Amino acid sequence: MHMADALVVPAVAGAMYVASTAAAGYSIKKVRLENEPKKIPAMGVMGAFVFAAQMINFTIPGTGSSGHICGGMLLTAMLGPWAGFLTMTGILLIQCLMFADGGLLALGCNIWNMAFYGCFIGGLLIWRPMMKSGATKRKITCASIAACVLTLQMGAFSVTLETLASGITELPFPAFVAVMQPIHLAIGLAEGAVTAAVLCFVHEARPEMLWRLEAEKEGKCSARRTLAVLTAAAAILAGVVSLGASALPDGLEWSMERVAGTAELAASGGAHETAERIQSATALLPDYAFSFSDSALGTTVSGLLGGAVVILLCVAVCWAIRFFRGEKRQS
Amino acid sequence: MTGPGRAIREIHSLEDLAERGTFLCRIHPLAKVLVTIWYLILVMSFGKYDIEGLWGMSIYPVILMILGDISAGEAIRRMRPILLMVCLVGLANPLFDRELLGTFGGMKITSGMLSMVTLFFKTVFAVAAAYILMATTTMEQICYALRKLHVPQILVTVLLLIYRYLVMMLKEADRIMQAYRLRAPGERGIRKDAWGPLAGQMLLRSMDRAQAVYESMTLRGFRGEFFLRGRFVPPRRSAFYGIGWAAILAVFRFLPVFRIVGSVFIS
Amino acid sequence: MGQNVEPVIEIEDMRFCYREGRYVLDGVDLSVAKGESVGIIGGNGAGKSTFLKILVGLLPDYEGRIRIEGFLLEKKNYSAIRRSMGYVFQDSDSQLFMNTVEEDVAFGPMNYGFSEREAKEAALRALKRTNIADLADRHVYRLSGGEKKLAAIAGILALQQEEGIILMDEPSASLDPANRENLIRVVRELKGTRLLASHDLDFIYDTCERTILLSDRKIVYDGDTKEILRDREFLEKNGLRLPLSFRFQR
């Protein structure tokens, strides 16, 4: 589910960075309040563990395919949602830097799609309420599968929204959703089952290690606060989508042209004018080269040719610099 | 990403590159991080049919890969999995977006094809930029840059700790899988009844290690605050590097440099 | 046993249990003088590691009285005690949690308020004392087992004065002969007080003049190392076996 940089435009990426940063800021505050210095090494070591354990293949019976553990859920169950979220953030950053798994610009999206849903929704809305009256093997299994399925569904849906809002793909919304959701339903079930098995083992061997549910005595307030966080999150998400939709360079424009059959539609109608104004204000940079009319073909060719010349020049100069640097070092 | 063994090799190869001490490695990490982010923003800001403008962005990876002696082949090899995913998304474009733009050598060029190619190149540039960053900057330097960018200390600390124990855990995962495979030949993954115990044992060991790490920290005076040391005095060269690239990239983004050069030859 | 010198570690009737009523150590008395090198031997589960962990304050719920350099071993004195007493873990990977050797060695000094420059100097000095100054910039997880052990010791030394106390838990475990020899040399050259817990009797013989034997929750022997290594029967009774070299030598 790691999104590549190419799938988002800067406006969407930026908005998701803001959302993820807010979640991280809140988590940091919570972890500081917990004031358990022990948690910091645990976050680091568990992060490395999840990173490595996600590479172990678990055979899913009857399918011939394999599943992996769900990092967000596991970390939440061991460290709590806040520390879990921060740890996931660290994992995602290393994945994108060292292994090209997801992009640096899309990191905000990836943190939101995987860490936020996995830790906050899965942890606070499913794991905590279900474990409130004590944990049993059955409850752990149910909670783990339910949380994995739900959070993966939400994550996949967000991927769809973010990609569409960026205007990257021409895939119609229903088709995109129809592809993403069922795949991630299957993945969610498999991941949930594997994660449940691991958590049940921990519950049996060292139950005190699971996220201390009794210690979390926040009372009624917590549910309301969770709801508030969720509402805020939804609002941010909605903002992202609308902002992205208005900022996207030409995705909407193009589909409108297709629908209306004419590009002249853009000129009429106040609503569209406003949209256009917003677009030119929010789009990071105005397009200069989208001039693919018949006469424009000539300039495009000259652009491509010019590019070849400039790049060749660059290559030549760089090689020359390298050559002379080598000479100097030798002498 | 595939197996733990591959991951370890990849980490080591990146580290070896970043520790070579070339002039790019000695540039202040903050400058490199900021230039990379600026580059990514510019690349992603191109419209989806603007292949011509996007092409101008190729100068950054081309120049740095040659000057920094970074293998393009290795960068492309790293891109394969992510390119596959992007292509899956991008393949829909030629199918749904069939506006005819012209013909090229008898082949019909549609706008969907154009946007697919743009998407493809954006991915290549993004991965190349990240690769260039990591091939010239160690993870500790990145963390140092993050601190300079006011990323909270706890996050940077966790990042450093994950990185510290990553190779160790990867080795352990590798050993576990090898030991399992030796006793269960022909199986591709871990059987269902071994799921919990196998990963669970490893998890418990990790938690025990976390406890030991904590003890070791407290014995050496840890009280919840991590002191990260900086090792860089930002040299003027780094500032030049940052500002220079920011300007060059901006010129290529906002001015049709390639077209101007090309028009000299065409007309 | 060096009674003429002032003791740095004094233990009186110390008892400890992990679970209520089941004592792991019961009635331990010990006095260690400054600069002494003491081996702690005993079979698996004899309480060697527990003993060392109590001394550094990792297991605070002990009974009895322990004084370290005059400070009573209790929470409010931990900071002062740990400044002069370090503990080398059996598993070096748990101890070395920073990414490069120098950063890890400088971790302690940084926590005790050294400036960056002072911390770096302290780290380099400690690395020189363990003969691994050339490894300063190396990544920790790319070190060999022997190098890791020396780096871990350097991490302790960086925090101490020349004559601090250093406790080591199974220092020679999983080291090859060359690394082991190197470690023996380093340990012998340390000027401070040393307590080494090990069941590697060869190692103890090479590094400690005095040895205590823990067995059945108590100290059953406290005296000259050479002497106890001659008493094969007594060692075997307490779960230890003489190394081959001793069996044929004497």
CATH number at residue A137: 1.10.1760.20
Residue-averaged pLDDT of chain B: 86
B28 touches chain A (CB under 8 A): no
* A90, B162 Cβ separation under 8 angstroms: yes
User: What is the interface size between B and C, counted as CB pairs within 8 Å?
Assistant: 75
Does an H or E element contain B212, and which? Answer: helix B195-219
Residue-averaged pLDDT of chain C: 89
Checking if the pLDDT of C96 tops 80, the result is yes
A1 touches chain B (CB under 8 A): no
Predicted confidence at residue A112, as pLDDT, reads 95
Q: What is the ipTM of this complex?
A: 0.91
d(CA B170, CA A50): 10
Nearest-CB residue to B256 (from A4, A24, A303): A303
d(CA B198, CA B193): 9
Give the minimum alpha-carbon distance from A149 to chain B in angstroms, rounded to a whole number. Answer: 19
Residues 61-80 of A with CB under 8 A from B: 61, 66, 69, 74, 78
d(CA B149, CA A282): 25
Residues of chain B above pLDDT 90, percent: 23
How many structural domains comprise chain A? 1
Predicted confidence at residue C89, as pLDDT, reads 92
d(CA B221, CA B200): 32
CA A250 to chain centre: 23
Residues in chain B: 267
Predicted confidence at residue A275, as pLDDT, reads 45
Predicted confidence at residue A177, as pLDDT, reads 86
Neighbouring C-alpha atoms within 13 Å toward the C-beta of B28: 20
Quote the crossing angle between the two packed helices B72-90 and B59-67, to the nearest 10°.
160
Predicted confidence at residue C173, as pLDDT, reads 87
Give the minimum alpha-carbon distance from A317 to chain B in angstroms, rounded to a whole number. Answer: 9
The CA–CA distances, whole Å, from A158 to A16, A163, C138 equal: 11, 8, 42
Residues 6+ apart with CB under 8 A from C69: C8, C81, C84, C85, C165
Encode pLDDT of A30-64 as tens digits. Answer: 999 988 888 889 999 999 999 999 888 888 887 77
Which of A321-330, B166-175, C21-30 shows the lowest mean pLDDT across its residues? A321-330
Flag whether the pTM goes above 0.90: no
Q: Which of C136, C63, C138 lies closest to C106, judged by CA?
A: C136
- When scoring B17, B163, B219, B226 by the number of chain C Cβ atoms within 10 A, the one with the most, hence best to mutate, is B219
Q: Using a CB cutoff of 8 Å and minimum separation of 24, what contacts does A210-214 make?
A: A210/A77, A210/A78, A210/A131, A210/A135, A211/A76, A211/A77, A211/A78, A211/A79, A211/A80, A211/A123, A211/A127, A211/A131, A213/A128, A213/A131, A213/A132, A213/A135
Encode pLDDT of B238-253 as tens digits. Answer: 888 999 999 999 988 8
For C49, the token pair is 């590691």
Tokens 């899913």 belong to residue = A60
CA B50 to chain centre: 24
d(CA B208, CA A59): 27
* B118, B51 Cβ separation under 8 angstroms: yes
Per-residue b or e along C14-50, where b marks 16 or more CB atoms closer than 10 Å to that residue's CB: bebbeeeeeebbbebebbbbbebbbbbbbbeebbbbb
Residues 6+ apart with CB under 8 A from A86: A24, A27, A28, A31, A43, B154, B155, B158
Alpha helices in chain A (DSSP H): 10-34, 39-53, 71-79, 81-99, 107-110, 128-131, 137-165, 173-205, 221-247, 251-260, 270-282, 296-330
A297 touches chain B (CB under 8 A): yes
Neighbouring C-alpha atoms within 13 Å toward the C-beta of B179: 8
Predicted confidence at residue A200, as pLDDT, reads 92
Predicted confidence at residue A229, as pLDDT, reads 59
d(CA A24, CA A81): 11
Q: Which of C94, C91, C231, C110 lies closest to C159, judged by CA?
A: C110
**DSSP E strand boundaries for C155-241:** 165-169, 193-197, 210-215, 218-224
Which residues in chain C have Cβ-Cβ distances shorter than 8 Å to B163? 99
Predicted confidence at residue A298, as pLDDT, reads 60
Predicted confidence at residue B72, as pLDDT, reads 87
**DSSP E strand boundaries for chain B:** 100-104, 107-110
Cβ within 8 Å, pair B122-A5: yes
B232 touches chain C (CB under 8 A): no
* A130, A139 Cβ separation under 8 angstroms: yes
Top pLDDT among B181 and C40 is at C40
Nearest-CB residue to B220 (from C91, C103, C155): C155
Predicted confidence at residue A243, as pLDDT, reads 46
Range of the domain at A109: 5-330
Predicted confidence at residue A49, as pLDDT, reads 94
SS3 C27: strand
Q: Which of B201, B179, B4, B162 lies closest to A56, judged by CA?
A: B4
Residues 6+ apart with CB under 8 A from B59: A310, A311, A314, B248, B252
Predicted confidence at residue A118, as pLDDT, reads 92
Q: Which residue of B has its CA nearest to A285?
A: B45
Predicted confidence at residue A233, as pLDDT, reads 59
Low-confidence ranges of chain A (pLDDT < 50): 216-221, 223, 241-272, 274-295
Predicted confidence at residue A251, as pLDDT, reads 34
Encode pLDDT of B191-238 as tens digits. Answer: 888 888 888 999 998 988 888 999 998 888 887 777 766 556 667 888
For B149, the token pair is 């960018």
Encode pLDDT of C135-178 as tens digits. Answer: 998 888 889 999 999 999 999 999 888 788 999 999 998 888 99
**DSSP E strand boundaries for C69-123:** 71-72, 85-88
d(CA A166, CA B191): 41
- Eight-class DSSP state of C108: H
